[in-house]
Amino acid sequence: MSRRIRTLLTFLTVIVDAVMAAWAFYIAYQLRSIVPFPVPLNLGPFTNYVGQMFIHVASVLVVLFLYRLYHLRRGGSRIDLVYSLISAVSIATLAATAVAYLVYHSESDLTRGLIIYSWGLTVILIAIGRVLTDRLRQFARSKQPDHLLIVGTGDVGRMILQKTLQSPQLGYKVIGFIDGENGREVAGVPVLGTQNDMERIVQEYDVEEVVITLPEASHAELLDMISKCESGHARVRIFPDLFQILASEMSIDDLDGLPLLTVRDIALRGWKLTVKRLMDLVVSGLGLMFLSPFLLFIALLIKLESKGPVFYSHIRVGLDGKPFPILKFRSMRIDAEENSGPVWATRDDPRRTRLGTFLRKTSIDELPQLINVLLGDMSLVGPRPERPIFVDQFKQVVPRYMERHKEKAGITGWAQVNGLRGDTSIVERTKYDLYYIENWSLLFDLKILLRTIINQFRGDRNAY
> Is pLDDT of 156 > 90?
no
Residue at 260 is within a domain: no
Residues in the chain: 464
Extended strands (E) in 46-178? 146-151, 172-178
419 and 275 within one domain: yes
- Could you read off the pLDDT of 346-359 as tens digits, one per residue? 666 667 788 888 88
201 and 186 within one domain: yes
> Is pLDDT of 274 > 60?
yes
Q: How far apart are CA 78 and CA 81, in angstroms?
A: 5
Residue 176's closest CA among 144, 142, 211, 145? Answer: 211
Asked whether the bond before 38 is cis by omega within 30 degrees of 0, the reply is yes
275 and 160 within one domain: no
Residue at 263 is within a domain: no
pLDDT for position 247: 43
- Could you read off the pLDDT of 368-386 as tens digits, one per residue? 999 999 999 999 999 999 9
444 and 314 within one domain: yes
Give the pLDDT band of residue 459 (cuts 50, 70, 90): low
DSSP state of 364: G
Number of domains comprising the chain: 3
Q: Are strands 378-381 and 409-412 parallel, antiparallel or unpaired?
A: parallel
Residue at 256 is within a domain: no
Q: Which residue, 95, 122, 141, sits at the end of a domain?
A: 141
DSSP state of 363: T
Residue at 254 is within a domain: no
344 and 211 within one domain: no
201 and 106 within one domain: no
Please give the helix or strand (H or E) that residue 325 lies within, else none.
strand 323-329
Q: Which residue, 141, 156, 184, sits at the end of a domain?
A: 141
Q: How far apart are CA 333 and CA 335, in angstroms?
A: 5
342 and 231 within one domain: no
Q: Which residue has the higher pLDDT, 42 or 316?
A: 316
48 and 84 within one domain: yes
Residues 181-193 have a mean pLDDT of 78
Q: Which residue, 87, 121, 141, sits at the end of a domain?
A: 141
290 and 217 within one domain: no
Question: Is the torsion defined by CA of 211, 428, 280, 463 positive or negative?
Answer: positive
108 and 153 within one domain: no
Residues 15-34 have a mean pLDDT of 94
Residue at 319 is within a domain: yes
277 and 325 within one domain: yes
Do residues 116 and 96 touch, judged by C-beta distance below 8 A? no
Residue 433's closest CA among 317, 283, 262? Answer: 317
> Is pLDDT of 388 > 50?
yes
**For the whole model, what pTM was predicted?**
0.68
Q: How far apart are CA 400 and CA 17, in angstroms?
A: 45
Give the pLDDT band of residue 166 (cuts 50, 70, 90): confident
Q: How far apart are CA 193 and CA 216, in angstroms?
A: 19
Residue at 324 is within a domain: yes
Residue 179's closest CA among 205, 148, 203, 213? Answer: 213
- Could you read off the pLDDT of 208-266 as tens digits, one per residue? 888 888 877 777 888 888 888 877 778 888 876 554 555 455 555 655 566 665 555 55
203 and 313 within one domain: no
CATH code, 224: 3.40.50.20
- Could you read off the pLDDT of 281-319 as tens digits, one per residue? 999 999 999 999 999 999 999 988 888 889 988 899 999
Residue at 332 is within a domain: yes
Residue 33 sits in which domain range?
A: 3-141
pLDDT for position 290: 94
Residues 72-80 have a mean pLDDT of 74
pLDDT for position 255: 53
